Every structure is written in C-alpha cells, then in structure tokens.
Amino acid sequence: MQINENVFIENDNLEWEVVGTGVKRKIMAYDDSLMVVKVQFETGGIGIVHQHYHSQITHIESGVFEVEINGNKKVLKANDAFQIPTNILHGVVCLQSGVLIDVFSPMREEFIK
C-alpha cells in the first residue's frame, strides 16, 4: 500500500513541481485510493485537454478558469467546483491566476517519483 508518511501536512513544507508554462503543483496527501493535489496557475496557464481512468473532483480555491469537460466549456471562479468522471476529456485555461485543489480516486501513481 502506498501512503504518504505524514498524517499532518503543512503546506509550507511541501515543494512545488513545475509541470508546464505557468503551472506548478504540490502533492498534498495520498494513499492507494485517494490523492489530493494543489495546482497553481498563472494567468494564461493551460491544463491541456486529457483523460485518465481516475475519477476527479476539483475545487477552485482562487482565480478564474475556463473549464472544458467532454467538449462543454464553462467559466468558473473561486469556491466553485467541477467533477470529471473516469475517461472523460477535460482541461482548463486560467483566465485569472489561481489555485485548483484536485482530488483523484484512485491516486495518480505517475505523480509520485
């Protein structure tokens, strides 16, 4: 079983990983069945359209994003959320710098190095 060793996670102790132009992430916590990831976007940053077998729920902590799910686009802002079923194409464009909190089930093993 994969599990984050820490049961108390302090944001300031976690390193950012650059994952694209204007996009970086922190792995907050995980076990085999669940993962929480913080993703910070600069204005204009893009989460390219992709799909994966993991279920995903994303909370918009701050900023404004154009969210695309299965070809449908909607502008969402801080305190909104969206849900992505398994294997559905999705992506985001950051319209105003902000942070997304992604929750995946099961965990994204490819995110752990």
Number of residues written out for the chain: 113
Residue closest to 53 by CA, chosen among 8, 1, 113, 105: 105
What pLDDT, in 10s, does the model give residues 9-52?
Answer: 999 999 999 999 999 999 999 999 999 999 999 999 999 999 99
Domain 15-111 indexed as CATH 2.60.120.10:
yes
- pTM of the predicted model over 0.85: yes
Query: Which residues face 35 on adjacent strands?
Result: 30, 104
What pLDDT, in 10s, does the model give residues 51-103?
Answer: 999 999 999 999 999 999 999 999 999 999 999 999 999 999 999 999 999 99
Q: What are the boundaries of each domain within the chain?
A: 15-111
Q: How many CB atoms lie within 10 A of CB 104?
A: 20
